[in-house]
Amino acid sequence: MKQYAGIIALGVMAVAAAVLFREEAPAPQKPVVPSPQIQSGNNTQTTGTAPVGTPTSTLPKSTSFDFYVLSLSWSPSYCASSEGAGNRQQCGTNRRYGFVVHGLWPQNENGYPQFCSSSEPERVPDALGRSMFDIMPSMGLIGHQWRKHGSCSGLSQKDYFAATRAAFDAVKLPQTISQGQNNQTISADGLEKAFIAANPRMSQQGISISCDDGRFEEVRICLTQDLQFRACQQVDRQGCQTKQMTIPPIR
């Protein structure tokens, strides 16, 4: 019996030692695989993270028009007109605007679409419109531009006005003009050259000057749907050709 007891004791000790070894031995580790990266502009994001912004290149493209025309109005000229005199949002005594966005217009090589059918509402919400007041200082202007031109862009209201701001930011304004400190006299050709000097990728075939009664009104700049400068002969041909026009100062 003593012999059997000794054998049993040795067996119990062997089992205990095996259990202890398994508890102390480290579990095998899975290799760590770095998360794949997505490049978005200047931002690096891990997979599954929402984009930081919608790049202009990802906005929906439309086959109903060929390119955009960005129209930048010189606010002092507008406010000096009979139409602008009654616009207190843009032309009030405390409003010191220079270049403002008249509109971002879908354009074809010949003609342009307008007042298109859209699933978006006709009215632009105040919150969205007022967020544009630094560059489009009137709800009347914003609403009209959406109904006449934005509705033809194929974009939502939010994306259309985001594209409008991106187009404005894509153009560098010539400081000698945009500061508006003094009354200036310049030719239409001279003003085009000032914009081209500030924007080397722009060409004289992609910019047009509008004037009325010897006074500068606005500049129209042609852009692709990706908001890159491009030529547009029809728009260019319609421009003012005067050799002398005035640019009233910002007051």
Confidence of residue 58 (pLDDT cuts 50, 70, 90): low
- Asked whether the predicted pLDDT for residue 2 surpasses 60, the reply is no
Confidence of residue 228 (pLDDT cuts 50, 70, 90): very high
Domain encompassing residue 231:
66-247
pLDDT for res 183: 94
Secondary structure letter of residue 229 according to DSSP: B
- In a domain? residue 9: no
- In a domain? residue 123: yes
Tokens 């409008």 correspond to what residue?
164
Contacts of 250 (CB under 8 A, 6+ apart): 75, 76, 96, 97, 98, 179, 180, 181
Domain count, the chain: 1
pLDDT tens-digit map of 107-163: 999 999 999 999 999 999 999 999 999 999 999 999 999 999 999 999 999 999 999
pTM: 0.77
- In a domain? residue 4: no
- In a domain? residue 186: yes
Please work out, in degrees rounded to the nearest 5, the angle formed at the alpha carbon of residue 172 by the alpha carbons of 226 and 136.
80
- In a domain? residue 176: yes
- For position 239, which CATH number holds? 3.90.730.10
Q: What is the distance between the alpha carbons of residues 15 and 11, in angstroms, rounded to a whole number?
A: 6
- Residue 154, Ramachandran bin (φ over 0: left; ψ between -120 and 50: alpha; else beta): left
76 φ/ψ angles, rounded to the nearest 5 degrees: -60, -35
